[in-house]
Structure 1
Amino acid sequence: STTHTDTDHTPPRNPTEETLTTIWTDILGIEHIGIHDNFFDLGGDSILAIQAVSRARRHGLHLTSRLLFLHQTIASLATHVTTGKEASADAPAEVSGRVTLTPIQDWFFTEHTVNPGHYGMSLQVELAPDTDTALLERALGAVVAHHDALRMRYARDGGTWIQEYGAIADATALRLTVRDLSAVAAEERDAELHEAALAAQRSLHLESGTLVKGVFFRLGPSRLPRLFLAVHHLVMDGVSWRIVLEDLSTAYTQLADGRPADLGHRTSSCQQWADRLSAHVRSGALDHELDHWKETAAAVRPLPRDGQGDDGADTFGRAAVTSVRLDRAETQALLHRVPAAYRTQINDVLLTALGRVLRDWAGEPVTVALEGHGREELFDDIDLSRTVGWFTTIHPVTLDVPDGDWGQALKSTKERLRAVPGRGIGYGALRHLSEPGSPARAALATAPQPEISFNYLGQWDGATSDDGLVRARLAALGADQAPEQPRPHVIDVVAATGDGELRVDWIHAPAVHRTGTVRRLADAFLAALREVVEHCLRPGNGGATPSDFPLAGLDQAAVDRIAGDGRDVEDIFPLTPMQSGMLFHTLSDPGAYTEQMSFELDGVTDPALLARAWQTVADHTGMLRTALEWRDVQRPLMVVRRRAELPVTHLDWRALPADRRDEAVRRLLAEDHARPVDLTSAPLMRLTLVRLTDTSVRLVCAFHHVLLDGWSTFDLLAQTYRAYADLAA
């Protein structure tokens, strides 16, 4: 794990913040996280957000990914989560019946007509040395019983495939294959592992509902045992793997302790999601996206080719893999230091480098098929945070990354990705779930598909532990797809972080592209990625983009002018009509809305500490770090700074005779009120602390009324008194 040192790491102040801090520390692999650190600046991404939601709910905190995207610090998030039982209803204990195919499943059956049973996802992991195979088999059965999708069966109905649930009894009958390779020579062991894995992968069968196969390997007393799991892709995706591994560990521990396996609350079923998504599409709720998808699909062009064969040679069995990787230090920088520079997530950075390299190669912008996790929060009563299934979305996005400054390239790519409606879920939904003959089905069903795909599978280091059941994730075994199955894309670029390193695989067909060509592309991508990382780490580089301040309605030039490198600006949003009125009145009469409060405080032995308490409250209160911007913008804006030093004047009147105090106070108040508040400089407030005795002060606070009303001033004073008491304790 890493230590993040960009902020002061304010510790949690209540149980909710403590729980969230523990979850973030665990998921992000960072030792010291403060409640004002930003989840995405620390390396969080949309997949990790789902895991954070899942863990939070296990601790009784009702949280959504949407909330986490809106409130990206623990301090802000904690005030918006609810505790106790979740609002959404439990999924039924056992679901049954037919299940509508999701868009990705419909795509699968359209594209994969050759041996569709042999198309899985697999995982090889090292287990604890004393793993009991009987308990492991029962734990695996408990996982399959709990996650309904793993019991699916498939059948042909005329020319289409249908899916329906099998019985829970099928899950408890699951058998783990045990292979003892202790006596096998080292040079033969890999071949044995490969053959056993391949047998498991080939044994997956859609019609019989054989969708999960597990093989346990004993490798002798000096080596940790291994588990190989093969699951058909129709019911599995990258997020699901993390859920399965976590639940397998939970169930195994419970059984080992003599308790029944209890995997807790069931989240929404695949059946509920598929039915709701299908109804959503057919209601016309996504029709407004169609023009975007038609325009994007129209930009698809064939990739350059230089191979010696024809497209018929582009099968999984003939595919080659060219891999590149960042070392640990570079990966740590990419995950934990780069995001803060331009408020990016890792996909923004990877796709900027990829877009530049592809454009240089093809001589024009390249449209890629971008994969996403697809677990979008479209419906308030549907929760997929711990649902196993295949929810992946694939949608086209055109990467136009011209030569020049990496900062401009990052901003451009980030905005292009943010402009994708609904994070891309609508493309597949409209294409596969629209009524036959509808404009969406007609436009998208025959639209050209990108020849290159990109998929970032996320960070895997949090899926293992040094003392749990699952100790390490190992290299792939066997073959997840039938070798004779044609590949849907000419090049697949697949990235993932594991063992602290980012690895990027370029999967291609030597018959279509020479291996040397793909090697040059992969190396150029790695070089570009390193340049982007170096650029983001350079002092002075950075910036924000219009999507960071969606309420402000700014273009990139205005964001650059107002936010600069972006590191000092937390938010930008419009004034209310009443605040705008105050602003324009102030411009013609600068003192019109300067407010002032003044009173004596007893029990203050350290005025400097009181000033610190006031600053502490300002650090936690956006309005007290705000300036106004009204020049060259369509409407007046509030600009919230990340840090604003409160101007404090200290005076000592202890030697001033009592009979002169009243006049001195009158003069001080008049002079203070006569000084207008500078609306362009945060904070719109200043403080004067006058020491009267060793234990009392007069406090004079001047502020612009656009900041605070009467009730807010009372709340501000109460917070300041509490902060002073905490600091003095």
Structure 2
Amino acid sequence: LGRPLPHVRVHVLDTRFRPAPAWATGEIHIGGAGVSRGYLGRPALTAERFVPDPFGAVPGARLYRTGDLARRLADDDLVFLGRADDQVKIRGHRVEPGEIANVLRTHSTVREAAVVLRRDEDGPRLIAYVVTRSGETAELRDHCARRLPDHMVPAAFVPLEVLPRTPNGKLDRAALPEPERTEPGTAYVAPETDAEKTLAEIWAQVLHLDRVGRHDNFFTLGGDSILSIQVVAQATQAGITLTPPLLFQHPTIAELAALGPRVPAVEADQGPVTGPVRPSPVQRWFFEQDLPAPHHYNQAVLLRVREPLDPVALEKSLRALVIHHDSLRLRAFRSPGGEWTMDIAPPIVDYPILTVADLSGLPGDRRTTAHEDLVARAQTTHDLARGKLLHALYTGHHLLLTAHHLATDGISWRILLEHLTAAYGGTRLPRKTTSFQHWTRDLADERPEPAATEPIPRERAESPEVNTYGNARTVTTSLEPRRPVTQDVLLTALAHTIATWIHRPTVTFDVEHHGRTHAPTHDLTRTTGWFTTIHPLTLTTTHDPHTTLQHTKNQLSEADRRHRPSAEIRFNYLGRFDGALGEDAPWELLPDAVDGTADPSGRRPYLLDVNAMVIDGTLRVHWTYCPALHRRETVETLAGRFLRETERVLDGEGGDFTGAGLSEPDLEEFMDHLDDVFASEGEA
């Protein structure tokens, strides 16, 4: 819609006639010289549409309620979303179908789009009718899912040659055809073909469900982009070739199985990979940190041992990992001028990879101290120039695995743990997928500029130099969510938490992503390495967390890759580790954060590091901070509020509050009151 003409005022107001925040949906109200006194001879309609102007300087001024819904952008431009009387309610949310249609029209193949609510035996469903240049609709679900909350993604997409119109040019809803029953209802429908049964078993294992029906939606069941990689990897091992984008486009068992053999498999070199490696963007970022001890920058996992291990078999399995996974043989060299280069060493493990220590004879306190000393020593064993990037410590009841971050990331650990379990059990490791060397070679050469960000509050006037890994402390909280959490939900909760703290509606933080973007020539489902991307994300919060959730999806789908990470808060969602290794594995993953993964004298790049993961159904969130800059009580307050905001978003996603006797305005007022309560808590 652009901006109003001179002498005309346009307000976007919520249901209580308050200005709607940027990105929030509201009704357009027009004021100024162009507003008439009302409808001639229609006093009731005049009273409904012409309301007192609380913003006008002239006594008795009125606003005209247009009935049009819009959203105000950050630059004050208005985006038309549809008519207020076109709103529908689904899963407890008011939805503007016109807004969904607008999102569909942003797809390059869509010429026209309309979205309507249909009711059948499964309840209300949003149906999208689209006119596309190709006649195909396969990509549209993924397009919507990346830009809209789950409840706004249409249940079905119906291709048409033209949208039916009435004689006056409006959409002829009665002429729209009924959609075919290709989408699931709530009833369980058993898988039918062998491919469907195989996929259902994989989904059930990855999502930890008793059963999965052929029409169940992967993302409705709690799937996400990280879990999709696991599904693709297991499907490939079972002889079904998939890609993560296909899972987004066809999120049901029936749809995926129907694809048949149309997806070509990506061939990867099965021999040892050696030679020069181009650093990935995040590896370049690491080298730019200029840490005093770059060899000491690790990731580590702690396993509880279920039964005594055979040290000889364990060491053999660890060596098999290094030979199989090329990233574990990376070498890094710094020239006298400070430039870093990398290569991959030959598949030879000529260094001690396992330390075995029997602490069972020590009393409790001494055993704890001895274990901490051994863990600290294990963290300093890596050698970048020799390619010694993996080490294990076995102390009888626990197995510590530590790897330099140059060689691993969150998804890499899933792969390594799965393969270590297989190798120790005598199972042959699966075929290799695209090498890290190949992947970095094909990356575009991007050199993003720093983004402009506002600093977060400091509570003590200490120099930033004190923000070292040795000074850092961590607050850990946990939550057993009633519904599966996703990165979108957690980012929305974090935005509301930080906005309340800094007293600004707009917040910016750096967000880590797994970075394993799909390309037809790459299959990274079983490849280890540091693929992570880090990009700044700016979110504008509203009084309604679900409006913020929609904004979050929009922003994530258009990630700011023009700028390099420069915020003071970093967020990383590592995904779900629910029973990741299986009940038959000789070890199980512990949720405890391992201390000492970085050199104590190294300076931390962030003031607040927020890391979240789900282990055995429990959301665990680690808030790492510097006590010389922020008080522990403040971080504990933020951590507690974050959990409440997470529940608030999840509860609202679930459905309807009408059973509680609350109208929508009453509910909004109650939520606003909660915001006021949270804002008045002890900030220090």
What's the counterpart of residue 515 of structure 2? Answer: 374
Look up the equivalent residue of 1:281 and give its one-letter code.
D
What's the counterpart of residue 363 of structure 1? Answer: 503
What's the counterpart of residue 597 of structure 2? Answer: 480
Higher-helix-fraction structure: 1
Cα distance between partner residues in 1 of 2:512 and 2:616: 23
Aligned partner of residue 318 in structure 1, secondary structure: coil
Cα distance between partner residues in 1 of 2:462 and 2:512: 28
- Given candidates 447, 459, 481, the residue that maps to 1:306 is 459
**Counterpart contact for 1:153–1:207, Cα < 8 Å:** yes
- Given candidates 544, 547, 553, the residue that maps to 1:414 is 553
1:231–1:214 distance in 2 versus 1, CA, 3 Å: same
Question: Runs of 4 or more off by more than 6 Å in structure 1?
Answer: none
Matched, 1:504 2:676: no
- Given candidates 490, 493, 517, the residue that maps to 1:350 is 490
Deviation of 1:448 after TM superposition, in Å, equals 7.5
Task: Summarize deviations over 1:88-122 as a string: whole Å, max 9, x none.
Answer: 22224011111001100000010142211110001
Task: Summarize deviations over 1:406-430 as a string: whole Å, max 9, x none.
Answer: 332222222222232xxx6x45xxx
Cα distance between partner residues in 2 of 1:112 and 1:230: 21
1:263–1:28 distance in 2 versus 1, CA, 3 Å: same
Deviation of 1:174 after TM superposition, in Å, equals 4.8
What's the counterpart of residue 436 of structure 2? Answer: 270
Gaps of 5+ in 1: 219-224, 255-260, 283-289, 336-345, 428-443, 542-729
Aligned partner of residue 208 in structure 1, secondary structure: coil
Deviation of 1:13 after TM superposition, in Å, equals 0.7
**Counterpart contact for 1:333–1:533, Cα < 8 Å:** yes
Matched, 1:186 2:364: yes
Q: Percent identity?
A: 37
Look up the equivalent residue of 2:440 and give its one-letter code.
A
1:185–1:97 distance in 2 versus 1, CA, 3 Å: same
**Counterpart contact for 2:421–2:581, Cα < 8 Å:** no
Deviation of 1:138 after TM superposition, in Å, equals 0.6
What's the counterpart of residue 27 of structure 1? Answer: 206
Cα distance between partner residues in 1 of 2:593 and 2:366: 17
Matched, 1:80 2:259: yes
Deviation of 1:81 after TM superposition, in Å, equals 4.8
Deviation of 1:6 after TM superposition, in Å, equals 7.9
Look up the equivalent residue of 2:422 and give its one-letter code.
T
Gaps of 5+ in 2: 1-183, 659-684
Cα distance between partner residues in 2 of 1:267 and 1:175: 25
Query: What does 1:621-636 align with in structure 2 at a 5 Å threshold?
Result: none
CA-atom RMSD in angstroms = 2.2
Look up the equivalent residue of 2:469 and give its one-letter code.
F
Aligned partner of residue 613 in structure 2, secondary structure: strand
Deviation of 1:455 after TM superposition, in Å, equals 0.4
Cα distance between partner residues in 2 of 1:83 and 1:263: 26
Cα distance between partner residues in 2 of 1:463 and 1:83: 30
1:499–1:189 distance in 2 versus 1, CA, 3 Å: farther
Matched, 1:320 2:460: no
1:99–1:481 distance in 2 versus 1, CA, 3 Å: same
Cα distance between partner residues in 2 of 1:480 and 1:387: 23
Look up the equivalent residue of 2:458 and give its one-letter code.
R
Cα distance between partner residues in 1 of 2:333 and 2:253: 47
Task: Summarize deviations over 1:439-461 as a string: whole Å, max 9, x none.
Answer: xxxxx5xx771111100011112
Task: Summarize deviations over 1:299-333 as a string: whole Å, max 9, x none.
Answer: x1111111242211100110111222213xxx242
Cα distance between partner residues in 1 of 2:466 and 2:260: 53
Query: What does 1:275-674 align with in structure 2 at a 5 Å threshold?
Result: 275-277=441-443, 280-281=444-445, 297-298=451-452, 300-327=453-480, 331-335=481-485, 346-364=486-504, 365-377=506-518, 379-402=519-542, 404-420=543-559, 426-427=561-562, 444=563, 449-539=566-656
**Counterpart contact for 1:61–1:83, Cα < 8 Å:** no
Deviation of 1:247 after TM superposition, in Å, equals 0.4
1:318–1:30 distance in 2 versus 1, CA, 3 Å: same
What's the counterpart of residue 323 of structure 2? Answer: 145
Look up the equivalent residue of 1:264 and give its one-letter code.
P
What's the counterpart of residue 245 of structure 1? Answer: 417
Cα distance between partner residues in 2 of 1:96 and 1:114: 28
1:101–1:196 distance in 2 versus 1, CA, 3 Å: same
Cα distance between partner residues in 2 of 1:64 and 1:380: 9
What's the counterpart of residue 384 of structure 2? Answer: 206
Deviation of 1:358 after TM superposition, in Å, equals 1.3
Query: What does 1:100-249 align with in structure 2 at a 5 Å threshold?
Result: 100-157=278-335, 158-170=337-349, 174-218=352-396, 225-249=397-421
Cα distance between partner residues in 1 of 2:373 and 2:353: 19
Q: Structure 1-normalised TM-score?
A: 0.62
Deviation of 1:150 after TM superposition, in Å, equals 0.2
Aligned partner of residue 180 in structure 1, secondary structure: coil
Cα distance between partner residues in 2 of 1:533 and 1:474: 23
Task: Summarize deviations over 1:363-419 as a string: whole Å, max 9, x none.
Answer: 221111000000001x311111100100000000102112x2233222222222223
1:301–1:136 distance in 2 versus 1, CA, 3 Å: same
Deviation of 1:137 after TM superposition, in Å, equals 0.9
Deviation of 1:495 after TM superposition, in Å, equals 0.6
Matched, 1:14 2:14: no
Look up the equivalent residue of 1:305 and give its one-letter code.
R
Look up the equivalent residue of 2:451 and give its one-letter code.
A
Cα distance between partner residues in 1 of 2:363 and 2:416: 32
**Counterpart contact for 1:198–1:477, Cα < 8 Å:** no
Cα distance between partner residues in 1 of 2:431 and 2:582: 24
Task: Summarize deviations over 1:675-724 as a string: whole Å, max 9, x none.
Answer: xxxxxxxxxxxxxxxxxxxxxxxxxxxxxxxxxxxxxxxxxxxxxxxxxx
**Counterpart contact for 1:102–1:391, Cα < 8 Å:** yes
Whichever of the two has the greater Rg, that structure is 1
Deviation of 1:29 after TM superposition, in Å, equals 0.7
Deviation of 1:513 after TM superposition, in Å, equals 1.6
Cα distance between partner residues in 1 of 2:315 and 2:494: 43
**Counterpart contact for 1:348–1:410, Cα < 8 Å:** yes
Aligned partner of residue 155 in structure 1, secondary structure: strand
1:478–1:303 distance in 2 versus 1, CA, 3 Å: closer
Aligned partner of residue 636 in structure 2, secondary structure: helix
Aligned partner of residue 154 in structure 1, secondary structure: strand
Q: Structure 2-normalised TM-score?
A: 0.66
